[in-house]
Amino acid sequence: MKKTAIYFICILLFSAACSPKQVLYRQNLNYTYLPATTIAYDLLADKDSLQVFLKFADEGLFKDVPQAQLKLLYTISLSYERPDIIRRDSVRQFGKRLSFKDNFAYASFKLPTAGITLPSVLQLQIPQHVAEDEYLWLDIPLRREGLAKRLLLADVNTGWPLFRSYVNTSDTFQVVSTLPIVSVQLKQYETDFPAALPPFSLSQKKVSPTLSLIQTSEIPVGQNVTLAREGLYVLDAGEASTSIISVANQYPELTTARELIEPLIYMTSSEERKKLYEATEPKKALDRFWLDIANQDQALAKRLIKEYYQRVKEANIFFSSHKDGWLTDRGMLYIILGKPSVVNRKQDAEEWTYVNRRQGGAAYKFIFIKKPNTFTQNHYELIRRPEYEFVWYSTVEKWRKGTILEE
């Protein structure tokens, strides 16, 4: 009897160690939107398995940890909101799967797909070197389209997936497929997407329900490809497809005067932008704009410029989809309000919470809903509410008074 009791106590302790402390929806995943700690993933499906590719921005996660102690545990749960676990396992010899290049860490493993209920969520328990009992939790929604993803785009220099929704016009990449094909159809579409509306606006942007096809061609699988013309591209293999946007070589950074003026739509009037665009020397006009905001304080102006356009760059990294990241709803809030204090996820939604410590901990919550999109699985739209008007305009006003700095 005593041995039986000890056995069940051990089982309970093991289960507690391997299980999330709380349902995934309640875990703060805001580190995924911090450039220094973000973890990117990509998927490639085969007949009976799903290849999961991981890219860690912080290679130091695994520094000074003996290879034998590096364990990657995972669970598959029915949803973000329920702790019901349908599978729990570990990735064997995770330490040997790691590779390091250009200050990033990479790893991949195969997940058997038999018995997986859709939709569900794959949760990876990633060890950190800072403490033995601390982990990062990476969530990967498992949907029908993910288990049917038979194409991906790979970096020719690393051999790993691109881990992003864009390529630069000078980038060279390869198409990788688990289908028995030698080429895919490449379709280029005309794009002219408007910037996101303010979070309190209940009016609708006029966007065409269809995009005009510019041209179609064939590109080989497994050979080097470059998309020298900017635009939205779809790579179509019949039963599988993927999309990518081709952007200027400096993207996700913006460098030309016109590029730098465009994201100011979130904090300027149309008349102000018109003057900037029509200026004979737009770069000088842009500098004057920021100097006026900073009350002619050059040091402050430089800090404001650095902060604003760093946020634009990060919005492009995190939220690019079928359009530039800064144009999206999440990109808009990220630029003006900054990084959210808390990020919670559901299967088809993200919930951002901003905690204003200067106002006694006042919290503002924004909910983004994942919308079906032919071109991307990274398209989310904000549920707009009239009550957001105050926090929006008060934050924009701080920018325009030169008082907004990263908290």
Per-residue pLDDT tens over the stretch 88-146: 999 989 989 999 998 999 999 999 999 999 999 999 988 765 555 567 789 999 999 98
Quote the pLDDT of residue 69: 77
Give residues with Cβ within 8 angstroms of 126, minimum separation 6.
39, 56, 61, 72, 135, 136, 137, 138
Type of residue numbered 158 = T
Closest CA to 228 of 209, 208, 247: 247
Q: Looking at residues 327-349, what average pLDDT do you find? A: 95
Structural tokens at position 316: 């492009």
171-214: pLDDT as tens digits: 999 999 999 999 999 999 988 899 999 999 988 666 666 789 99
Tokens in use for 179? 């289908």
Helix (H) or strand (E) holding 301: helix 298-319
Average pLDDT of every residue of the chain: 89
Residue 306: its pLDDT value, please?
Answer: 95
**346 contacts 362 by C-beta, under 8 angstroms:** no
**Residue 311: predicted pLDDT:** 97
Within 13 Å and on the Cβ side, how many CA atoms surround 26?
A: 7
**Distance (Å, rounded) from C-alpha 271 to C-alpha 277?**
10
Residue reference for tokens 């990633």: 126
CA distance 224 to 403: 48
The confidence score (pLDDT) of residue 129 equals 57
Contacts of 392 (CB under 8 A, 6+ apart): 198, 199, 200, 336
Q: How far apart are CA 333 and CA 329, in angstroms?
A: 7
Q: What is the pTM of this model?
A: 0.90
Residue 2's pLDDT is 43
Domains present along the chain, CATH in parentheses: 19-142 (2.60.40.10), 151-247 (no CATH), 257-400 (no CATH)
For residue range 45-79, what is the model confidence (pLDDT) as tens digits? 999 999 999 999 988 888 777 777 788 999 999 99
Residue 66 has a pLDDT of 78
pLDDT at 255 (0 to 100): 94
Q: Which of 155, 49, 37, 46 is nearest to 104 (CA)?
A: 37
Give residue 183's pLDDT.
97
- Measured in whole angstroms, how far is the alpha carbon of residue 398 from the centre of its chain? 27
- Percent above pLDDT 90 for the chain: 72
Q: What share of the chain in percent tops pLDDT 70?
A: 89
* Region for residue 283 given its phi and psi (left: phi exceeds 0; alpha: psi -120 to 50; beta: otherwise): alpha
On whether the CB atoms of residues 82 and 23 are closer than 8 A, the answer is yes
The confidence score (pLDDT) of residue 25 equals 78
pLDDT computed for residue 137 by the predictor: 83
Largest separation between any pair of C-alpha atoms in the chain: 89
- Residue whose tokens read 């569900």: 120
Which of 80, 81, 84, 37 has its CA nearest to residue 58? 37
Q: Output the pLDDT for position 75.
A: 94
Q: Are 262 and 170 in contact (CB under 8 A)?
A: no
User: Which of residues 202 and 287 earns the better pLDDT score?
Assistant: 287
Is 267 a residue whose pLDDT tops 90? yes
Q: Which two tokens stand for residue 234?
A: 């779809």
pLDDT at 5 over 70: no
The mean pLDDT of 144-166, rounded to a whole number, is 94
Give, in degrees to the nearest 5, the angle at Cα 314 between 313 and 316: 65
Contact indicator for 78, 212 with CB cutoff of 8 Å:
no
Q: What per-residue confidence (pLDDT) applies to 127?
A: 73
Token representation of residue 252? 């996700």
